[in-house]
Structures are given as C-alpha cells and as structure tokens.
C-alpha cells in the first residue's frame, strides 16, 4: 500500500488507516500521551522501511484482533497473530500477539452481531459474550514493554471498539472518543478503491458517509455511557496492576 502521510499523523511506508492515540483531551484536563498506542488497518503491506519506521517509533508489540486464518482466507497468505511476511527479519524486537475479539463459529455471536459487524450497535453484545477475550487484548496492551500497534483488518470496527474502551478507561472525553472512531471510519472509506488489496468493499459517497457516521456516532456514545470499562475488564480477569499500566501508558 502507498498511503501518503497526512499532517499530524504518523506515516510508516505501506501502512493504512494509521494514527496515534496521543493528543486526545482528558476529562480532567490535559491530553493523552503520544507515541504509546497506535491503531491501523492490517499491517500486512508494510514495507521493510515501514516496519523499521514502526520500530523506530518505539513499537514492541503488535496486537492483532483478527480471527485465526482470517488473512489467509483473504488471499494474502498471512495468518492473524503471525508476523507478516518479511516483518520479523527487518524488525527484531517486535512481538506479534493474536487476540481475537469474537468467535465467528459461535451461533449466538452470529445471531446477535452478524448483521451489525460494521456498527457500534454490535459492541455491547460482542463484549458481553467474550469478557475473557477482551481481557487478553488489554493484558497484551498493558504488558507491552514499548509502544503498541492495535489493528484488525480495516482498522475501523474491532479496532474502534477496543480503542474506544481503552480511551474510556483512561478518561478521554466521550466526544473525543467518538471523533477518533469517526476519523478512522472516514480514512478507511477514503482508501476504498484506491489502496490495493485492502478490501472488496465499495466506497460510500460523502452524503452516505455523513448519514452512516451520524447513526454510528450516537450508538457509540450511548454504548460508552452504559459501560463501566474498568469493572468490565476486572470481570474478565484483568488485575488492578494491569489496569494501572493502561493508565500509565496514556496518561
């Protein structure tokens, strides 16, 4: 992929839908720390220079939210949670961790979330079904020695769900969390039909995206308002020390 750099966002050659979770406003004042948590679409197309740029940015852990074998089924020959081809040889010191957020073979998941996988209306049921899966995601983020890259396939929904929870637990304002979600969805849509190998989805018009984002933004805010992320993560097995590490990473 050849996404060009944009003002205010990191650029690693071959990356797509990449952004830094730093600089977001906190409820109590101040902003989140930069250079600690990055989010993106699948990094399978990063060039060797791109991986070196990620490592130079401090990344030591890549948390892959895709399902095992998901990428292979898309034809790129890369399995979720594995280092993309060539990554390990140019990026010593980066650990690739597979942390799926769903079970696509679970009939209950398919019934409740299958038709809403690109909408925050699915998030409440998704996290209710798999508290331990989500605890593993946040354990990987909390335990990383350096910066973390969190990604799924598009960097939009599974990544958006996890990032919204992470930003909420460190007390980023709900409005900023919603804007972060919308920004990622808009970047993804802008790349459709432009970025080779991204997805077979078709890009939506500006008017359609405005309508889609309005409903998704309101659904995301309603979900966050109903959710105590810290209590939820504790119920999945996350320790007080791990939750403190999440705070220390971004605040």
Write out pLDDT tens, residues 147-156.
999 999 999 9
- Please give the angle made by the CA atoms of 43, 60 and 144, to the nearest 5 degrees: 115
- Name which of 102, 100, 120 is nearest 181 in CA terms: 120
The alpha-helical segments, DSSP class H, found in the chain are 48-56, 70-73, 87-90, 107-113, 123-129, 131-143, 158-169, 174-191, 206-226, 229-235, 240-250
User: pLDDT band at residue 68, thresholds of 50, 70 and 90?
Assistant: confident
**Average pLDDT, integer, range 39-44:** 93
pTM over 0.95: no
Q: How far apart are CA 159 and CA 170, in angstroms?
A: 17
Phi, psi of 228 (to 5 degrees): -100, 95
């Amino acid at each position: 992929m050849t996404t060009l750099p944009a003002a205010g966002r990191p650029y690693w050659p071959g990356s797509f839908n990449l952004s830094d979770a730093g600089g977001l406003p906190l409820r109590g004042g101040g902003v989140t720390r930069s250079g600690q948590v990055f989010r993106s679409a699948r990094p399978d197309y990063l060039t060797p220079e791109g991986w070196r740029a990620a490592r130079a940015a401090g990344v030591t852990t890549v948390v892959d939210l895709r399902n095992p074998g998901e990428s292979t089924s898309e034809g790129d020959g890369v399995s979720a949670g594995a280092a993309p081809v060539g990554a390990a040889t140019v990026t010593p010191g980066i650990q690739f961790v597979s942390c799926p957020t769903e079970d696509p073979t679970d009939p209950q998941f398919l019934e409740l979330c299958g038709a809403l996988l690109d909408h925050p209306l699915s998030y409440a049921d998704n996290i209710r079904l798999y508290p331990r899966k989500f605890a593993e995601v946040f354990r990987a983020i909390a335990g990383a020695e350096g910066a973390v890259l969190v990604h799924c396939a598009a960097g939009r929904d599974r990544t958006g769900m996890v990032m919204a929870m992470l930003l909420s637990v460190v007390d980023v304002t709900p409005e900023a969390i919603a804007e972060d979600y919308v920004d990622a969805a808009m970047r993804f849509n802008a790349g459709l039909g432009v970025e080779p190998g991204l997805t077979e989805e078709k890009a939506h018009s500006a008017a359609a995206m405005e309508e889609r984002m309005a409903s998704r933004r309101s659904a995301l805010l309603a979900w966050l308002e109903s959710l105590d992320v810290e209590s939820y993560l504790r119920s999945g097995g996350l320790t007080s020390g791990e939750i403190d590490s999440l705070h220390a990473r971004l605040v």
